[in-house]
Structure 1
Amino acid sequence: MHVASKQPTHFSGGTRLVAARGPRGTGGRAARLLALGLLLAGGGEAQAQARPPDFRVIAFFTGKQDLAHISFVREANQWFPRMAAQYHFAYDTTSDWQHLNAAFLARYQVVVFLDSRPEQAAQRLAFQQYMEHGGAWLGFHFAAFALTPSAYPQNWAWYHEQFLGSGEYAGNTWRPTAAVLQVADRHHPATRHLPATFRSAPNEWYKWTRDLRQNPAIDVLLAIDPSSFPLGTGPKPFEIWHAGYYPVAWTNRRYRMVYANMGHNDLDYEHGTNQPLSSTFSSPAQSQFLLNSLRWLGRR
């Protein structure tokens, strides 16, 4: 699925009631009267369907730095529009980060970072001010990545230290595998009706330099359950986790936000096809968590 880069792509749905034309004469007049009656009778339904969306979402993405991330972006931009049609919100996407400005963001109640972060100072300031004035955010996987030295250094202290609270990237599992996740907060709207533990979709799991449990502003929502260990297949030993505490989704109580570490699909590297071998939305409980998070963020 190709997503336009310069102008936001709009995903919308709805039903229009159209009166059919009958043949001329008595039969045609009767058909027109019947159609008019149906339109009048269905007026309430039509008005309900024509009501504005409950909230509007704009999803930013780059779609260049990793084939597994690109795979996730493509399926996210198919899955979220289906959820938007079902749960009555609007979902737009853009890969033009110049849209990350105050005037553009004012149209939306939720911002999503699918696979990266803004790099320009003006974009970063606009996002910070948006969040500090009540905006909402859902971030995935690489959107929290920072590593010095790398192409994505830790050069945005507010975002990585205060907003996310995770600091820098400190390592990952390999290859992408499913994990058993435990619900760390049973009372949050994003997790309230989830099972205590559930199996995730395959993912490359990150760990961080900061211990989120030590940050009073952070509410960990999901973490790796110990039954997952050993997690990863290597071949490098440090890519297999045998023990430890690894949060994979959390919120910062000072902002309306949720970060989810999901968003790296498994690909067919061995045969050189790079075809997806997994889907981030293949776990019903994980998908429910993501939908719950977005709907919670969109409500005021």
Structure 2
Amino acid sequence: MSKKYILLVLFSICFLGFSQSKKANSKFKVIAFYTAKNDQAHISFVHEANKWFPKIAEENHFVYDSTSNWDNLNAKFLAQYQVVLFLDTRPETPSQHEAFQKYMEKGGAWIGFHFSAFALNDSDYPQNWNWYHNAFLGSGEYGSNTWRPTSAVLRVENQDPITKNLPKTFSSQPNEWYRWENDLRKNPDIKILLAIDESSFPLGTGPKAHEIWHNGYYPVVWTNKNYKMLYINMGHNDIDYEHGTNKTLSYTFENKAQNQLIINALLLFGNSKK
């Protein structure tokens, strides 16, 4: 047996041992579902997320997987994971709806971004899932949004492990901000964590007048006390639509405070027992 062969075998054993040890030492597993087909801003965010989360997973010793196959939203597949992410859209079929609801009711955890909460009748994403939009998210239908994507000053509304080490107010990355049908302040199950601070107004640049907000109360991050869940309105990168380049002009994960919020939630949810 040659020395070269022996060295190769020893290297393989060491490498495999390291990989198995690394996997064995992982605290929990995260699965991200995405579509990444509609709206360049959402596609850009998904690509950015699928680069950022693996780095965070390595630093914090958990496993991050992602899939665009929403049929994986079934009991057998979900049983492998402690945290589910919806990066851009939501599940659409009755069987997927049922699997996700049961997963959450049995103690699973979820973090949803931006468009994952969108629902508007007479659109491609109608409000046809009452449990998700009303009982779970509490927001109901989409109401309106600001344009174009702009930074906002966000204010911590309630102290929570998820807001640990966040400043009382901070400036966000540029985002398209959503308004909702339901007033989340009136829902006893909802705990609002971040809202737009009044110093942000006017928020948006138009050109349409209704795309610029001058006043009002707008929650952007919240949790439902009955579940291990977090909704984050951020997730819409600024894109150069006007010149036809579709170039990404801003990145969601280039913000220390926003990132801390997400990491706090991941570690809280991932390390908690069902």
TM-score, structure 2 normalization: 0.92
Name the structure 1 match of 2:87. 114
108-117 or 51-60: bigger deviation = 51-60
Matches within 5 A, 1:136-147: 136-147=109-120
Residue 185 of structure 2 is aligned with which of 213, 222, 230? 213
Paired residue for 2:26? 53
- For residues 202 and 269 of structure 2, the distance between their equivalents in structure 1, rounded to whole angstroms, comes to 34
Unaligned runs of 5+ residues in structure 2 are: none
Q: Is the 8 A contact 2:153 2:200 kept in 1?
A: yes
Name the SS of the counterpart of 2:32 in structure 1: strand
SS state of the match for residue 190, structure 1?
helix
Counterpart in 2 of 1:164? 137
2:228 equivalent to 1:279: no
Please state how far the C-alpha of 1:273 moved relative to its aligned partner.
0.2
Q: Give CA deviations for 1:252-276 in whole Å, capped at 9, x if unaligned.
A: 0000000000000001112110000
Which residues of structure 1 form unaligned runs of 5+?
A: 1-20, 23-27
1:293 match? 265
The one-letter code matched in structure 1 to 2:231 is: Y
* 2:61 aligned partner: 88
Deviations 1:58-77 (A, max 9, x none): 00001111110000000000
Deviation at 1:133, TM superposition (A): 0.3
Aligned partner of 1:12 in structure 2 is none
Distance 1:228 1:96, change over 3 A: same
C-alpha separation in 2, matches of 1:71 and 1:192: 28
SS in 1 for 2:100: helix
Q: CA deviation at 1:90?
A: 0.4
Are 1:251 and 2:223 counterparts? yes
The answer (yes or no) to whether the contact 2:164–2:264 under 8 Å persists in 1 is no
Tell me: CA distance 1:151–1:85, structure 2 relative to 1, closer, same or farther (3 Å). same
Between the aligned partners of 1:206 and 1:67, the Cα distance in structure 2 is: 18
* d(CA) in 2 for partners of 1:295, 1:239: 36
The code of the aligned residue for 1:189 comes to P
1:130 alignment partner AA: Y
Separation of aligned partners in 1, 2:223 and 2:242: 37
Which residue in 2 is equivalent to 1:268?
240
Aligned-pair CA distance for 1:129: 0.3
Displacement of 1:241 in angstroms is 0.5
Q: Please, what TM-score do these two structures have when normalized by structure 1? A: 0.84
Q: Report what 1:195 is aligned to.
A: 167
Distance in 2 (CA, whole Å) between partners of 1:225 and 1:121 is 38
Task: State the SS of the aligned residue for 2:167.
Answer: coil
1:105 aligns with 2:96: no
Distance 2:266 2:154 in 1: 19
For the residue of structure 1 that corresponds to 2:221, the secondary structure is strand
Q: Deviations over 1:19-76 (max 9, x none)?
A: xx79xxxxx9xxx9xx9xxx9xxx9x99974533111000000111111000000000
Q: Distance in 1 between matches of 2:21 and 2:155?
A: 39
Q: Partner amino acid for 2:161?
A: P
Q: Which runs of 4+ in 1 moved over 2 A?
A: 45-52
Aligned partners of 1:50, 1:228: CA distance in 2, in Å? 44
Rounded to whole Å, the distance in 1 between the matches of 2:135 and 2:151 is 29
Deviation readout 1:98-139 (Å, 9 max, x if unpaired): 100000000000010000000000000000000000000000
CA distance in 2, matches of 1:87, 1:254: 26
Which amino acid in the other structure matches residue 148 of structure 1?
Answer: N
Structure with larger Rg: 1
